[in-house]
Structures are given as C-alpha cells and as structure tokens.
Amino acid sequence: MSKRHPQTYTGIEIGTASIKVVVGQFQPDGILNLCGVAEEATNGSVVKGEIVDAKKAMEQLIVAMRRAEQTGDVQIDTDAIYLAVTGGHLHSVNSIGTVVVSNADRRITQADRENAETQAWNYHFRPDQPPVNFFNRLFRVDGIREVDNPVGLVGAKLEAEVHIVYGDRNRLDTGCKLVEEAAGQPPSAQVFSPIAAGMATFFQKEAIGKGVLVLDIGAGVTEYAVLQGGGGDLCFHTGQITVGGDHLANDLSLGLHLPFSRCRELVERLAEWNGTVMMTQDGRNRLIEITLGINDRRSIYVSTVEQILEARLKELFELIRDDLRQQGVLERIGHGVTLCGGLARLPRLEDLVKNVFEMPAEIGRVQGVSGGSAEILNAPRFITPIGLLRFGKKHREERQPQRMPLWSQIKADVGKLRSALSDAMKW
C-alpha cells in the first residue's frame, strides 16, 4: 500500500440499471472536485444487485472507466478504487464488546474503551460469510447510559456496540474480481451502498445529532441506513430489501399484461402523464395510450398504474419501517428520511414516504462537491458513487496517521537528529 496521496479517487457502483464510475480529487479544504463521470447501462447483466453475466458486465465496466477518464482527462489511480456492494446476501449484526472497568476509581480510560471496541470487532463469522464494514454504534455505561465518548466517565461496566455488515464471500469476491480484471487492481475497500450515500449527502452539514434514515431506492435493491453524528460517523442500523425499480416494472407488466420493457419506460416517464406513485382522484379520467403493434393499441387508466405502483412501494416502505421498529431504531431518527437512488425522483415519492414513516422526507443532494454538470449533481442516482469517494478518503485517513507538511517534517527530523547527537555526546 503506497503512502503517497493518490492522484485521484475512483468510485465504482455496479448497479442493476447501470454501472457508474466517478473519478475525483480532493482539495485541501475537503471539497471534492469531480473530474470524470460515466454511466453505462447494464442491459440485464446485473439483476437484483448481483452480477449474472460477468463477461458483459466487465465490458461495460471497462467502457465506463475509459469514458470517465476521457471526459475528465484524468487517469484512474488503481490504488484508490472503492466499490459499492449491494445484494440480497448482505445482512447486518450488532456486536457487543464488554469490559469491566479496571481502575480503582472506576473512571473509564482510553484503554477500556479500546478494549471494548476490540472485543466488539472480534465477532466470530462463518468463513463463507466474511464481514464487509464495521461501524461504531454507541457506548453504553452500566447497561443503561448511552454515550458517544465514555472516556472519563465513572462506571462499573462499559459496553461498545459495533454494527457489522456481512455478506456471502463468493458474491463479494465476484465484484472484486471484476474490478481487478478491469482495472488491474482489486478495489482498496468495499462499502455497503447506503453508507456511501449518507456520507455524500451529509458532508459539512452540522452533525446530525438527531439521526437520519438514508433510503437508496435502486432498480434492483432498496438499501437503507440509519446514520448519526458528523458526516454520518455513527451507523445505527443498515439493511436491504431486494425489491427495486425492476419490481415496479414487473408488477405493471404482470398486472396489466404488457411487455416488461414498455413497463420500464412507463415507470421512467411517469411524470409525462402526470402520473404519481399515489393514487389520485382524477387519475380515472386520464388514459395512457400504449401501442404494442400495428393493430394492437391499449388504453390504460392512469389510476390503475398508480394503484399498482402505490401498492408495491407502500409494501416496501412498510417492510423497512417494521424492521426499524423491531430493531428499536425508529425512534432514533429525528431528522427525517433522505431519498437517494435512481427512483428517488418518482413523482410524489416523498409524500408516500412521509405517509408511511410519519416523518419529513426529502430528496438527497450531494454536499461539498464541485465540478461535474448540474445534471449529475442533481441526479439522486449518482449520490452513492460520489459518496464512495468520501468513504475512500476517510478509509485512507483512518489507515494512516496524518502526514505533516514537509517543512514541519524537516524541522521535526532535525530536532530528532540534534537530540540523538546530544545523547551520543553524553557518553
């Protein structure tokens, strides 16, 4: 692992609808400068977040990477590639590490905190289901008090909770091998998508003390994460439901007896017919004309389309809400819901989310990003790939201590030399 700063950071998301590659550089103040962005449709090589046609997916990935390099006139630094993971095989677990406070005065020390964290990180996984990401959740003192930083407090027992995402080894490796073949090197790290989405939308916003739910609604999978803290530092819960935009199209196709591809179009162009994802009163008065063949023309009520979509999306959100309630994290969401992903822009989706979750909802926007066209900065489907770059930077910084600027380093080295010489003289 080279210690130099990478020239560019690259984020790759192999999504169900398209493969997205984003290349960017970080300015010293933390602003992310987007250099190259490319998107390549998958045309069925990825289904429900999992790669089903590796050959086709690789060709598409290579095309996307080349195009990202060309449009931005940059080179992808293969040391800093970050991959988003998704799929039905991902699950999460909260691991708890417990220490009994050792000090006589019962004050919790840094060592206690680190011990508890280490224990929590040592959750035993099956060899075929390795962990993907670890996130600090919270510390608990004496089983009752929840704190962000326990050092210095008085207590008898300290528990550290860590939220761990894990998945099937073979499916995770499929993505890694694909990137390795396309770019020459495997990704430096992988991260569960909604975390990346959260990092992109909450950069530089004041610390989200109240907790936010990030919903990433894609074509294949809907992922969600409950985040808190500055820049989404703390993650309380993550999850995924393997239902997405393709299910909407499939529902329409089977419910209305229309071909699947036309239904996909229907969902994408819903706004053109003033259709929404919630049944409206005047929907019965409007018809959608669909031409299937020379003599085959169908007129479908907009309200029927809305009914099918609303049923599916409502069910999906209710599943998520029930899971959050069961895990006890629904109360932690004070800020509301942020929508990301390709389907976030469906007409009136925020209203449906507001109804089901009973909290404010808004479409996410990337923060602290420059460069890139307005279209890309406003498109919710690029939130996750852009977030991958933020994750990558954080990941690198945590692996290596901060490097001092060159001048201070020279001064420090000279200082060390001087003291070494004076020690030698003493002999």
Partner 1 sequence: MPYPPIQRVAILGLGSAGAHIVAELAADDLLAGADLAVADTDLGTLKALADSVPVQIPLGGDWTRQESCGGNATLGEKAAGAASDDLRQFFEGASLAIVACGLGKGTGAGAARVVARITRQMDITTLFVVTLPFTHEGNWRCHQAKRDLELLRTLTDAVMAIPNDLLFTTLPANTPALRGFEVVNSILAEAISGLARLPSATGILSVDFADLRGLLKERPGYCHLGVGRGNGAERWKAALEEFMRSPMIGGPETLTKADAAIITLVGATDLTVGEMQTCMTSLQQYFPSHTKLLVGTYTDPRCQDEVFLTGVLCRFQGTDGGAVRETAAAATSKTGAGKAGKAALASTAVQGELPLHEPALGYFSKAIPTICRGVNFDLPTCHRLGLALDLGQ
- 31, 54, 287, 363: residue in contact with partner 1 (rule CB under 8 A): 287
20 binds partner 1 (CB under 8 A): no
124 binds partner 1 (CB under 8 A): yes
Total residues contacting partner 1 (rule CB under 8 A)? 35
- 13, 50, 117, 350: residue in contact with partner 1 (rule CB under 8 A): 50
Determine the Cα–Cα distance for residues 21 and 14; give it in Å rounded to an integer. 9
Nearest approach, Cβ of residue 257 and partner 1 (Å): 7
Determine the Cα–Cα distance for residues 246 and 269; give it in Å rounded to an integer. 14
- 243, 277, 330, 340: residue in contact with partner 1 (rule CB under 8 A): 243
Name the token pair of 36: 């190259």
Span interacting with partner 1, options 134-142, 225-233, 247-255, 366-374, rule CB under 8 A: 247-255
237 binds partner 1 (CB under 8 A): no
Nearest approach, Cβ of residue 324 and partner 1 (Å): 15
Span interacting with partner 1, options 29-37, 140-148, 243-251, 353-361, rule CB under 8 A: 243-251
Nearest approach, Cβ of residue 316 and partner 1 (Å): 8
- Cα distances (angstroms) measured from residue 254 to each of 135, 143, 232, 259, 282: 41, 51, 40, 8, 24
Site for partner 1 in 305-324 (CB under 8 A): 307-308, 311-312, 315, 319
295 binds partner 1 (CB under 8 A): no
Nearest approach, Cβ of residue 50 and partner 1 (Å): 7
Span interacting with partner 1, options 98-106, 123-131, 378-386, 397-405, rule CB under 8 A: 123-131
174 binds partner 1 (CB under 8 A): no
Q: Name the site residues for partner 1 (rule: CB under 8 A).
A: 47-48, 50, 52, 88, 124, 126, 128, 241-243, 246-247, 249-251, 253-257, 260, 287, 298-301, 303-304, 307-308, 311-312, 315, 319
